[in-house]
Amino acid sequence: MTTTLPAYDEVVARYEPVIGLETHVELGTNTKMFCGCPTDFGGEPNTRVCPVCLGLPGSLPVANKAAIEATIRIGLALNCSIATWCRFARKNYFYPDMPKNFQISQYDEPLCVDGYLDVEVNGETVRIGIERVHLEEDTGKTLHVGGATGRIHGATESLVDYNRAGIPLVEIVTKPIPGTGALAPEVARAYVTELRDVLRSLGVSDVRMEEGSLRCDVNTSLNLPGQEWGTRTETKNVNSLRSVERAVRSEMLRQAAVLGAGGRITQETRHFHEDTGDTTPGRSKETATDYRYFPEPDLVPLAPDPAWVQELKAALPELPRLHRRRLQQAWGLSDADMQSVLNAGAVELIEATVAAGATPAAARKWWLGELSRRANETGVELADIGATPTQVAELQGLVDAGKLNDKLARTVLEGVVAGEGSPTEIMTNRKLEVVSDTGALTAAVDEAIAANPAIADKVRSGKVAAAGALVGAVMKTTQGQADAQTVRALILERLTP
Ligand SMILES: [Zn+2]
């Protein structure tokens, strides 16, 4: 069915969106959830497997304590209550990437419940309720080969890699989030961003969306004001922050078009497409009864000692929101300036650059200026631009020492981004250092004076401002490498009594 999509403004004028987010986080433990297999990303397929994570008969799981500890810390950081007793559950479903034909998860007895996370959107705080945080194991990965799309349709064969099967996975589920109106897409993005930062500050995961260690499913529904919430769809595996926002917006537009034409929304999972920004239907959504959950008989219940939980709570790091406030004060930034640092994803980069010796103003200048511009042009995240905070601090150090001027520093930075080495190496190898040695500059100064007699006469007659044109001429012949102050002094020395 092809429908013309309504304008976003019309959609939010007519309907109220309710969103919800389910986020899966692969924990950065050394070993898998129920066996001793290593967890690092990217090995040869099916080399990090054993009888337990392959589900071979007779093998028995043993829970990973580090994963339980990480999950409790996540729950505490999200202001949840921690269960004093809970169990793992079997979630039964048949899928080739699930070697046991069930997943060990948690069902009605999650480890952490009823918390919240405050996020900031347009300078306002929105409190997102957290329904539960539970622990489960990841599935393997299926690869469909031979088709054009990489999906099972049209594929000639499917391959399965079980290296990921059994990696500890934490699922964080929000309560439904009503009342955000037109801001729903931004709220969704702000929540995932804040959650990612919290998880990173806890050090429990590398939270890389592009490698799948943080994955997000986005629930969206629309209702008319004053009426019951609408039927929701679940958009699966949205794998970038930008896509979280786009997926909500696109689903709101699609649902409004269906409802506006008198249709009904089907409860289903949908796939988000990065290229078009659309969603298409996946399978119709299973309900909990389809999974025939029951308590996992091969594992003992979890009963975290409250004293241990208290210890973990007391040892939580400063959480990102407080941390950002402290940085904002230390850097002397207005709310708006801090917001642009946040929007650029530059907080940690600037912080690390300052730690490496640059002033906050200089660090901010490079990351929000030249480097952000390049990141936007090339469509990569600022953190992946190819320059490190240490290199940026080193570059600024060369500027402060008078070895590079602004223009030369930008050229050196291009070299850094291109992987040519450290700023000092690039400056030396490409002979970019500012020339302030008077001996080396004298010839260029004399040449400029000889080539511009009229201007030289003006300076001689006392119009010192005219010297600027001669400085410009010298900068040109030295390709910007002359130290402008020295050049100016040399010119005046020659032309004024
Ligand atoms: Zn294993």
Task: Give 3 Cα–ligand 1 centroid separation in angstroms.
Answer: 48
The owner of tokens 């010796």 is 357
Task: Give 90 Cα–ligand 1 centroid separation in angstroms.
Answer: 18
Residue 357 burial by CB count (10 A; 0-12/13-18/19+): exposed, middle or buried? middle
DSSP string covering 327-358, please?
Answer: HHHHHT--HHHHHHHHHTT-HHHHHHHHHTT-
Confidence of residue 483 (pLDDT cuts 50, 70, 90): confident
CATH of 438-495, one of 1.10.3470, 2.30.29, 1.10.10, 3.30.9: 1.10.10
Task: Give 296 Cα–ligand 1 centroid separation in angstroms.
Answer: 18
Task: Give 266 Cα–ligand 1 centroid separation in angstroms.
Answer: 39
Instruction: Report helix angle 335-343 to 320-331, nearest 10.
Output: 120
How far is it, in rounded angstroms, from Cα 23 to Cα 244? 11
Question: Vertex 184, ends 136 and 77: CA angle to 5°?
Answer: 40
Q: Identify whether the C-beta of residue 169 lies closer than 8 Å to the C-beta of residue 177.
A: no
How far is it, in rounded angstroms, from Cα 75 to Cα 171? 11
Indicate the residue type of 45: P
Taking the chain, what is the end-to-end CA distance rounded to the nearest angstrom?
A: 85
Task: Give 52 Cα–ligand 1 centroid separation in angstroms.
Answer: 5
How far is it, in rounded angstroms, from Cα 194 to Cα 186? 12
The CATH 1.10.10 portion of the chain extends over: 438-495
Indicate the residue type of 419: G
Indicate the residue type of 1: M
Q: Identify whether the C-beta of residue 208 lies closer than 8 Å to the C-beta of residue 28.
A: no
Cβ within 8 Å of residue 325, ≥6 positions away: none
Task: Give 208 Cα–ligand 1 centroid separation in angstroms.
Answer: 23
Indicate the residue type of 446: D
CA distances from 295 to 268, 321, 371 (A): 27, 38, 52
Task: Give 55 Cα–ligand 1 centroid separation in angstroms.
Answer: 9
Task: Give 395 Cα–ligand 1 centroid separation in angstroms.
Answer: 46
| pLDDT tens, residue by residue, 342-389 | 888 899 999 999 999 999 999 999 999 999 999 989 888 898 999 999
How far is it, in rounded angstroms, from Cα 130 to Cα 22? 10
Task: Give 126 Cα–ligand 1 centroid separation in angstroms.
Answer: 41
Task: Give 167 Cα–ligand 1 centroid separation in angstroms.
Answer: 9
Task: Give 162 Cα–ligand 1 centroid separation in angstroms.
Answer: 9
Q: Which residues lie near ion ligand 1 (Cβ < 5 Å)?
A: 35, 37, 50, 52-53
Q: What is the pTM of this model?
A: 0.78
| pLDDT tens, residue by residue, 241-289 | 999 999 999 999 999 999 999 999 999 999 898 888 888 888 666 666 7
Quote the DSSP letter at residue 111: S
Closest Cα partner for 181 from 4, 7, 9, 5? 9
Task: Give 58 Cα–ligand 1 centroid separation in angstroms.
Answer: 14
Q: Is the pLDDT of residue 53 over 60?
A: yes
Mean pLDDT (whole number) for 105-127: 94
